[in-house]
Structure 1
Amino acid sequence: MAANEAQAASNTAKISLLTLTMVVVGSMVGAGVFSLPRRFAQETGVAGALVAWTIAGAGMLMMAFVFQRLAVRKPALDAGVYAYAKAGFGEYTGFFSAAGYWASACVGNVTYWVLITSTLGQWIPVLGAGDTITAIVCSSAGLWLFFLLVSRGTREATSINRIVTVAKIIPILVFVLLALFVFDPAAFQANFGGADYAGSLFEQVRGTVLVTVFVFLGVEGASVYSRHARRREDVGRATVLGFLSVLAIFASVTIVSYGVMPMDEIAELQQPSMAGVLEHAVGPWGSIFVSIGLIISVLGAYLAWTLMAAEVLFVAAKDRDMPRFLSRQTARDVPVNALLLSTLLSQVVLILTYFSENAFDFALDMTAVMTLIPFLLAALYALKLRLTRETYAGSSSSTLRGDLAVAVLASIYAAFLVYAAGAGLLLISFLFYAPATILFAMTRREQQRRVFSSRELVLFAAVLLLAAAAAVGLVTGWISV
């Protein structure tokens, strides 16, 4: 009887396929979708958008499969995405991956505040596009208010998450339906090939595909819930179903916008551009409707990603990959030092947005760029495992062929993203990696080890050189933000 009751309780606690799929959807749908119309219209027309979403959909699905396979083949590496880089390519490379993933979460949090103040700027002109001094002061106040809120122990937010899920899905679906209702085939056809400023189809796709990295952040988290699945095979199914659902939502928002107004006008809209498109379609109430949903959604997402950013540092410190002071917790289990450092980095980036030509686009692009190195290293590690056949003893030929195809395609896609990002943004990322190495040095000193091995010293010298090139580029104007 006791065994039956325990089994029943275990089954009840397990997550169904539908619930697991919704978890995947919820982890990916965030603030980025509200900015898609303008970001795409700035770079491409309908044809380029369709190609970009096809490439992004296929590439990110391969990345999702990479994380799923690594979770199964290396279950002991549960310290985050960076653990794969460390296991495959050494401690300093693993540190880069951890620091980059942490920084992407912090910079991503900045996009939330810029988007909130930009949204409010439609009615409060002093906030502008989220890049005025007043906007930065208000955003900074919100940044530290959330720090105080989370540091007091606000870890469980199920009620908030329910509101957030509704708030971000309903406005998106209403937007798509209303845009279809007023759809103008003539405008859609005029926007098909792109405007004069868009360039060749390849240039349009290259300029657009980086945007998709930001909106797909969270795809790597799908495999995290594998141990909670009612059936193991549900993990793969939920990954595919959830991912395809999100891809359909994102692509729909982008494509239907081209049937509402000319792309050169969409490109000039203030963010969140989805609100501007809907206002053009149905009047002022459309903008208000989207804006309210966005603010509620973003605040809830910000709470989750604030914890995520701190958690990356905390877990790395617990695994002795970051200084031990970052592993300190309060009596309410809040990693307060990791939370503080994350908030400080977000504050610095928020101030930097004042000096950028477009605060939201700069923060969004840097979020994507800082994610590229962890993604690329994870894909290369999956490829390394397959080529060396580590963990593949006794595997069938179909498994070997399938995993090789997934690892190769994911690696090619991640490498293409690095190329698409451009030299400027990549160099700017090294302005973060160079000083962040102080944390690596502190960790080695705590363990009474040499700070760098000979190989690591060469890598550090290259990082310093690239950071110096970025600084020179910014000063001379070769690199602009």
Structure 2
Amino acid sequence: MSNGNKLGLWILTALVVGNMVGSGIFMLPRSLAEAASPAGVMGAWLLTGFGVLMTALVFGNLALRKPNLTGGPQIYAKELFKPGSKASLLSGFMASWGYWIGNLAGNIAIVTTFAGYLSTFFPVMTNQAALFTVGSFTLKVGNAVTFVVCTALLWATHFIILRGLENAGKLNFAATAAKVIGFFLFIVIGLFAFQSSNLVPFVADKAGDGGATIGLFGQVKNAAVATLWAFIGVESAVVFASRAKNQVDVKRATMLGLFIALALYIGISTLVMGMLDQNTLMKSEKPLIDAIQTVLGPIGGKLLAGIGLISLLGSTMGWVMLSAEVPYQAAKQGLFIPAFMKENKKGLPVFSLTVTNVLGQLFIFSTVSNSISKAFDFIIVVATLSYLIPYFISSVFQLKLVFTGETYENGKGRVADGIVAALSTIYSTWVIIAGTADLKTFAFGMLLLLSGILFYGQVKKNHVQSQSEQDRLSA
């Protein structure tokens, strides 16, 4: 690979921050207000922050101990079984497939949020006038414009990446730097506009489906799935480990990116709850803009929307890069459809990038019939559950290394790594259980995951051919 496609510490950190601080920071305050009281929201942030910290430590540790396993946390699935076995191949493929689907959904959540913030400048994007009606379906003007904008953003990003990975990484870095500065300014302004009365009642029951009452612990559990979405992308540096200039930068970028994102998320989420009353927050399509407008008026809203657009452009760049890299790296290790290994002259996964964005285009159709906020809520739950399996697998693999002593020749750090891996495993398991409590979401997520079986035959056939070729050469 040319040095021009190698990534340094700061670009890797920007990928982590840029991918984590994407759509979540703009839309989550509203989603969390619906799921929990202020006490429940803060509890969910603290719990999720701790759980993701443990998971990030696992990622960083595995990147150093197993530098040959690149492409994302799902790659570790095959290492849980005997090398070359059917179980190893199937688990590796299914984990890669699920993680890829999660990336697809995550990328489109960012694209749709971009459209939501662009509507601050172009109100036509929220126009409810009917464009045409076919049977029971009515296409509204706003939905049609939103669809066109999302499509244009997706494919513009596609062609920018094809011009070179390092240049795309630099654009993502610039966008990430701009949004970090902008959001810290938001925090400073928010401190002056914060009203504690908006957090009252601090602890309150929430009404669930069927009129059931949800207490504080139940609210924390429900909000934990949404807050985890904020941290999806913490593994971005791990996915690009094979393209890093130095392997040690992978762990450094992961931890540095996590702490920057954590500070932004907790600060902004808490301040927005204090700047808007709960009812206003739950109805908001653009909670950060509505919050800043209470202080600076429409001009402040437009300035923040501009920062948001820059932020989301960078996040889109990072997520499209990551979404294409995952199946490409898996295919190189024999765990995905062989065609995904195809590269262009610059060493970029052109086939993977194209297929990823074509499928992403299908997700964008959700904006045609739903509001932006409803499309966002639906996508993040499905995507979050798709990510949890690889997170769980990574933690279990770290436990396996600790128990077997592999890579721990002198025993140094073995106990500490075991404790971290155990806590990460417990956290991942708990959120999976909490997230699959909704039967409809669970069924849809499982359907997307199991759809990979349709393509497993190609992977298995390629594996058999590779084994036969190896046997022939060894003979």
Report the secondary structure of 2:275's partner residue. coil
1:67 and 2:82 are equivalent in the alignment: no
Q: Distance in 2 between matches of 1:121 and 1:107?
A: 22
Report if the CA contact (8 A) 2:54-2:421 is conserved: yes
Choose between structure 1 and 2 for higher RCO, CA contacts under 8 A separated by at least 6 residues.
2
Q: Distance in 2 between matches of 1:177 and 1:156?
A: 32
Counterpart pick for 1:204 among 198, 211, 219: 219
Counterpart pick for 1:385 among 389, 401, 408: 401
Report if the CA contact (8 A) 2:110-2:316 is conserved: yes
1:99-122 alpha-carbon deviations (Å, 9 max, x no partner) = 122222211111122112212234
Counterpart pick for 2:102 among 97, 101, 104: 104
Return 5+ residue gaps in structure 1 as ranges.
Answer: 1-12, 451-481
Give 1:21 shift: 6.3
Give 1:37 shift: 1.7
Report if the CA contact (8 A) 1:184-1:260 is conserved: yes
* Equivalence for 1:367: 383
Report the secondary structure of 2:235's partner residue. helix
Return 5+ residue gaps in structure 2 as ranges.
Answer: 1-5, 82-87, 128-140, 209-213, 467-475
Letter matched to residue 65 of structure 1: L
1:228–1:344 distance in 2 versus 1, CA, 3 Å: closer
Give 1:209 shift: 1.0
1:335–1:310 distance in 2 versus 1, CA, 3 Å: same
Give 1:15 shift: 6.6
Give 1:167 shift: 2.5
Q: TM-score, normalised by structure 1?
A: 0.81
Report if the CA contact (8 A) 1:323-1:443 is conserved: yes
1:213 and 2:228 are equivalent in the alignment: yes
1:446 and 2:438 are equivalent in the alignment: no
1:22–1:166 distance in 2 versus 1, CA, 3 Å: closer
Give 1:304 shift: 2.1
Give 1:51 shift: 1.1
1:75–1:151 distance in 2 versus 1, CA, 3 Å: closer
Give 1:442 shift: 1.0
* Equivalence for 1:267: 282
Report if the CA contact (8 A) 2:143-2:367 is conserved: no
1:125–1:432 distance in 2 versus 1, CA, 3 Å: same
* Equivalence for 2:3: none
1:355–1:419 distance in 2 versus 1, CA, 3 Å: farther
Q: Distance in 2 between matches of 1:420 and 1:448?
A: 39
Report if the CA contact (8 A) 1:31-1:112 is conserved: yes
Q: Distance in 1 between matches of 2:59 and 2:358?
A: 30
Counterpart pick for 2:440 among 414, 418, 424: 424
Q: How does 1:325-344 map to 2 (within 5 A)?
A: 325-344=339-358
Give 1:171 shift: 2.4
* Equivalence for 1:248: 263
Shifted more, 44-53 versus 135-144: the winner is: 135-144
* Equivalence for 2:47: 55
Give 1:142 shift: 2.9
Report if the CA contact (8 A) 1:36-1:274 is conserved: no
Report if the CA contact (8 A) 2:327-2:336 is conserved: yes
Q: Distance in 1 between matches of 2:354 and 2:11?
A: 33
Letter matched to residue 310 of structure 1: A
1:338–1:367 distance in 2 versus 1, CA, 3 Å: same
Q: Distance in 2 between matches of 1:132 and 1:195?
A: 35
Letter matched to residue 212 of structure 1: T
Counterpart pick for 2:175 among 159, 164, 168: 164
Shifted more, 91-100 versus 190-199: the winner is: 190-199
* Equivalence for 1:411: 425
Superposed CA RMSD in Å reads: 3.0
Report if the CA contact (8 A) 2:332-2:341 is conserved: yes
Q: Distance in 1 between matches of 2:38 and 2:294?
A: 19
Percent of residue pairs identical: 29
* Equivalence for 1:462: none
1:178-227 alpha-carbon deviations (Å, 9 max, x no partner) = 11101212223x14114754731112111211122222123223556697
1:183 and 2:191 are equivalent in the alignment: no
1:413–1:352 distance in 2 versus 1, CA, 3 Å: same
Give 1:62 shift: 0.5
